[in-house]
Amino acid sequence: MIKRFWQLCTLALLILLPLTSQASRQITDQTGRQVTIPDRVDRVVVLQHQTLNLLVQMNATDRIVGVMANWKQQLGEGYARLAPELNQKAALGDLTHVDPEKLVALHPQVVFVTNYAPQEMIDSISALGIPVVAISLRHDEPGDNRKMNPTLTDEEIAYDRGLREGITLIGEIVNKPAEAQALIKATFQGRKRVSDRLKDVPANQRVRAYMANPALTTYGSGKYTGLMMAHAGAVNVAAATVTGFKSVSMEQVIAWDPQVIFVQDRYPSVVDEIKNSPQLQTINAVKNHRVYLMPDYAKAWGYPMPEAMGLGELWMAKKLYPQRFQDIDMRKLANDWYQRFYRTTYQGTD
Average pLDDT of span 313-328? 96
What percent of the chain stands above pLDDT 70?
93
The pLDDT tens digits of the residues spanning 238-261 come to 999 998 889 999 999 999 999 999
Average pLDDT of span 110-132? 96
- The length of the chain in residues reads 350
The pLDDT tens digits of the residues spanning 261-293 come to 999 988 899 999 999 999 999 999 999 999 999
pLDDT above 50 for 72: yes
Average pLDDT of span 84-111? 96
CB 48 within 8 A of CB 75: no
Q: How many CA atoms lie less than 13 Å away from 279 in the CB half-sphere? A: 8
Confidence band for 8, pLDDT divided at 50, 70 and 90: low
Write down all domains in the chain, each with its CATH number in brackets.
Answer: 7-175 (3.40.50.1980), 201-342 (3.40.50.1980)
Host H or E run for residue 178: helix 177-198
CB 154 within 8 A of CB 48: no
The pLDDT tens digits of the residues spanning 127-173 come to 999 999 999 999 988 777 787 777 778 888 888 999 999 999 999 99
CB 197 within 8 A of CB 317: yes
Q: To 10 degrees, what angle do helices 155-173 and 177-198 make?
A: 160
Tell me which amino acid residue 55 is: L
